[in-house]
Chains A and B, each alone.
Chain A
Amino acid sequence: MAVMKIDDLSVTLGKRPILQGISLPELTSGQFVGLLGPNASGKSTLLKTIALGLRYEGALKVADREVSRIGRKERSLLISMMPQTPPIGSTLSPFELMRSYARATELGMNDKVLGYRMAELLNRLGLTPDAHRPLMELSGGKRQLVGLCLAMIREPAFLLLDEPTSALDLRWQLTALDVARDYTRSHNAVGIVALHDINLALRYCDTLAVLKNGRTAACGRPSDVVTPELLSDVYGVEARMETCSAGHPVLIADRPSTGEIHQQGIPA
């Protein structure tokens, strides 16, 4: 049973406080959570704290265990993160890179099982024709999809994605989020995805958490969270929520807010 609890979580990098008392409602199996917030609001740091064992204060529990007490190897089998930077465009192929990841982290499954997993992932993300091409020949978007394959090859209970769609065109944005959400549903995992595209977040996530300057600005059901007031407060934009012809809520951003100057970055 994958459960994640985050309570009063603070992280300081160097001397700069990045996260200052983040609390989220309990995240449970099958939940696909969107993490929103402007640049430098702490989205990446929150994901890294969960996945990479950064030092923190407060409570951060996965599967009822404090993350700081889980060893590196066990943590990597439980939690897996797709970083913002895609894999380097080396002469390795997606096939070779995925296989080396599985073997380097000692996934402990035979070549055949691993092969099925790889084939399915590559197929769903449209990479089958590119499976044996060098990464340096692939576009940035394809490499980003390879990054998603690398994060998912371990079939983690907690799948964290840091802006997984930033380099993708429309079709693959939808596909990548489809694949990640289907995975959290079918494997009873918790998925957390940091996104800049609020409409994608509205479309795909069950829960949205909004960060501002390292604090939780809002958290809850997407339609409750994303309001013109919040967007003005957090992103500093004038925006409207409309309902599209299919009945989904759609955000339309009109202009930067006038009046107060939106505070970017972290205050001292």
Chain B
Amino acid sequence: MTVPGAAQQTDLHEGLFERYRLIALRRALVLIGLAILLVVAFLLDITAGPAGLGISDIFQSVFAPGTLEQRMEIIIWQVRMPDALIALAVGAALSLAGVETQTALNNPLASPFTLGIASSATLGAAFFIVVTPAAGTLSHALLLPAFAFVFAMCAAFAILALSGLHGGSSSTIVLYGIALFFLCEALTSFLKYVASADVIQQIVFWHIGNLTRAGWTEVAVVTAVFLMVLPVSLRDVWVLTALRGGADQAESAGLSVKNIRLWTMFRVSILSAVAVCFVGTIGFVGLVGPHIARLLLGEDHRFLVPGACLTGAALLSLASFLSKVVVPGAIVPVGIITSIIGVPVFLFLISWKSGNTSWR
């Protein structure tokens, strides 16, 4: 073998990075595009609804407070803003949780739902509703998400503890999650079976997933948790990218795949438990958001992690917009919309990517 001369080596090096700079630039542009889409979705979401608000009203209310009719101000600040913001926060949180779960477990179907975290939250909520049916009180509004959160975290810790015992292989974690999912669904069904019709309705309403019960407190909590987890995820982007080379490879490079998995699952659990405990089960955002981001941005997690947050937030925001306009004069729970849109989108992605070996 000839050793390349210094000049030739510089050429090689320059060529390698020049090509990469173009790729990175394109991805940065995609991220900007997603951010613009997010803003558009947010504005659509905030103006949609029976009050007939325009975008100009929103801007007027934000930049010149007090000049708008008081009724409008109340609608914007007490109803529309928290709903629209929680859509962004929950969408981003679930999608971030989804992208990390998929990568950490090397499983394209992994998401907070596959791990049974969402169904445990539902069980917690159902349990609380059955035990204290006095809806509408302040303590009720605070305690319901608290119960959902505690149940979700218990589920997450159970899975983490079990996987820790058994070496934390990715398929065992997913299997524990699926087992937990069925257990929680069965227990929830049992609670519905013994409950009165009125209570069942409350459980069903919670289960469907709904953004309209959110107030500023909920927005603040979900946003705060998301903003606390995001920097940790961003710090780990290189490790996550390296994991996509396969567990054997990563282990051989001196990374502890087991520790990375457990640590990732830990922060994903907190993120998804907080996200679902206020809004109920919102399907598919945590699954489809990351997959769209992967298609658009590739698997370098420096771009993928922020990208998945943006796609998730934009998706849920658009779903929230649609939930207010598909049936005139009524608001369809957003959980129904995300699933109805999510399924065909998901099927399209699967068939479009058939022959894709990227998870094997």
Q: Confirm or deny: A151 has a beta carbon within 8 angstroms of a beta carbon on chain B.
A: yes
Q: Which of B17, B246, B253 has the most CB of A within 10 A?
A: B253
Chain B contacts of A77 at CB under 8 A? 254
A85-B246 contact, Cβ under 8 Å, with A91-B358, A104-B255: yes
Tell me which of B20, B244, B294 contacts A97 (CB under 8 A): B244
- What 13 additional pairs, Cβ within 8 angstroms, besides A101-B253, A175-B1? A73-B254, A80-B253, A85-B246, A85-B248, A88-B359, A90-B245, A96-B241, A100-B238, A105-B253, A115-B17, A131-B19, A132-B23, A151-B252
Task: Please tell me if B354 contacts chain A, counting CB pairs below 8 Å.
Answer: no
Please tell me if B71 contacts chain A, counting CB pairs below 8 Å. Answer: no
**How many B residues touch the partner, as a band?**
35 or more
Give the residue among A104, A122, A147 with the most B Cβ atoms within 10 A.
A104
Chain B residues at the A interface, C-beta cutoff of 8 Å: 1, 4, 9, 12-13, 15-17, 19-20, 23, 106, 238-239, 241-242, 244-246, 248-256, 294, 298-301, 356-360
* 3 A-B pairs with the lowest CB-CB distances in the bound complex, closest first: A76-B254, A100-B241, A103-B238
11 pairs, CB–CB < 8 Å, chain A vs chain B: A84-B248, A88-B359, A89-B358, A90-B244, A96-B300, A97-B245, A100-B238, A100-B239, A104-B253, A120-B12, A124-B1
Contact A136 B358 (CB under 8 A): yes
A182 at interface by CB-CB < 8 Å: yes
The residues of B that contact A151 with a CB separation of less than 8 Å are 252-253
Residues of A within 8 A of B (CB): 51-52, 72-73, 75-77, 80-85, 87-92, 95-97, 100-101, 103-105, 115-116, 118-120, 122-124, 128, 131-132, 134, 136, 147, 150-151, 154, 175, 178-179, 182
Docked-complex contact A88 and B254, CB < 8 angstroms: no
Instruction: Check A136 against B1 for contact (C-beta < 8 Å).
Output: no
Instruction: Give every chain A residue within 8 A of B255 (Cβ-Cβ).
Output: 76, 104-105
Asked if residues A92 and B252 are in contact (CB atoms below 8 Å), the reply is no
| Given A119-B16, A120-B9, A132-B19: A101 and B245 interface contact (C-beta under 8 Å) | yes
Q: Are A92 and B241 in contact (CB under 8 A)?
A: yes
A138 CB, nearest partner CB in chain B, Å: 11
Cβ-defined contact, A150 with B253, below 8 A: yes
CA separation between A77 and B15, bound complex, in Å? 28
Query: What A residues does B254 contact at CB under 8 A?
Result: 72-73, 75-77, 80, 105
Q: Is the CB of A76 within 8 A of B253?
A: yes
In the complex, the answer to whether A92 meets B298 with C-beta atoms within 8 Å is yes
Which of these, A105, A132, A136, A150, contacts B245 with CB under 8 Å?
A150
Report yes or no: A118 in contact with B252, Cβ–Cβ below 8 A.
Answer: no
* Cβ–Cβ < 8 Å partners of B301 in chain A: 100
In the bound complex, residues from chain A placing their C-beta under 8 Å from that of B246 are 85, 87-88
Q: What's the minimum C-beta distance from B240 to chain A, rounded to whole angstroms?
A: 8
Given A80-B253, A90-B245, A101-B245 in contact, is the A95-B298 Cβ separation under 8 Å?
no
A90 to B358 alpha-carbon distance, docked (Å): 4
